[in-house]
Amino acid sequence: MQSELTRRVFLKKIGLLGAGVAVSSLGVISVISAESEYPEISRQFLTMGTLLQITVRGMSRGHAEDVIADAYESVLPEVEILNRHSSASALSVLNSNGHLKNPPESLRRVLTKSLAVYRGTRGAFNPSVAPVVQLLEKGISLSPSDQRDLQKLQNMDSVTVSPQHITLGSREMRLTLDGIGKGYVVDMLSKRLTELGAGTHLVNAGGDIVARTAESSQEPWRIGIQSPVQEGIVSTVSLRNAAIATSGNYEQKFSHIIPHAGLSRLPLSTSVVAQSCVTADALATAAFANPAAVDACTLIVDETGKMQRSTFWVRDITEFENKRG
């Protein structure tokens, strides 16, 4: 009982025990509440540079609040490990020294996944663009020669990952996990919620979403993807035990990857549906740089508002699962 009260007090102290229970719009994606006999309890947090919303269905208010607080607290160490803006984080130490002994498991997992997506998308997803990101964040424009020099540092194949050691290809190389870290944390949150008995839940971190339903008879979560060129929703998808992530230059001042040359129209937003949020997050990031490099359930909206759906983009994730085998 004491631990439950402590978690509830924790939520109250940070001002996130609101009275409303409706799921609200978050950034580039809207969660459309379905009519259901199960109540929805939803709480919001500011983390990872975005608004995080956790929604639980089928629990009493007090129980749901305790579960949400527990799950949120459980991922705070993961958030810190992957935070390139914190000088004390494991990622920052790796970037500073060019190597890291006995790296935390979460950093190893995210980097291993990053390497797989980097190779699978032929470099469209590339965490080693951190030096470019840092210059852009400072408002420094890059000449073609600057970009060529920086591209020499953007070789993820030179990164080695093991339980004992992570090594970068050079001391000048820097990594950013902005395009995959949120997805990983959302997956960890979803896993913890399930462990705590909240089998039906939705986690939304600024457009990186995991939707779970404990029973197949329950209504799926309906997700509306907002238009990047005008107000309104351009498409909806029903999710049950799956994830969706959207990347776009209307949610950030610049992409953290440099788009490939030769594209006649650059995307304004890319959305990817996948089995895990870490996969959806990374592939949405890659598709923003080079849509042709991503073979997934993808929706792309360009600067004219024109939509391009992949073969696997469907309204119901059950169809997606069947098609993908």
Binding site residues for Mg(2+), as ranges? 179, 281, 285
Residues in the chain: 325
User: Helices marked H in 127-254 — which ranges?
Assistant: 130-137, 144-151, 181-195
* Number of Cβ within a 10 Å radius of residue 126: 25
In angstroms, the CA 116 to CA 125 distance is 10
The torsion angles phi and psi of 243, rounded to 5 degrees, stand at: -135, 155
Neighbouring residues of 317: CB distance < 8 A, sequence distance ≥ 6: 220, 237, 238, 239, 240, 241, 242, 273
Binding residues: 179, 281, 285
**SS3 at position 229:** coil
Q: Which two tokens stand for residue 265?
A: 């129209």
What is the sign of the dihedral through the CA atoms of 279, 49, 141 and 129? negative
User: Which sign, positive or negative, has the C-alpha torsion 246, 248, 254, 258?
Assistant: positive
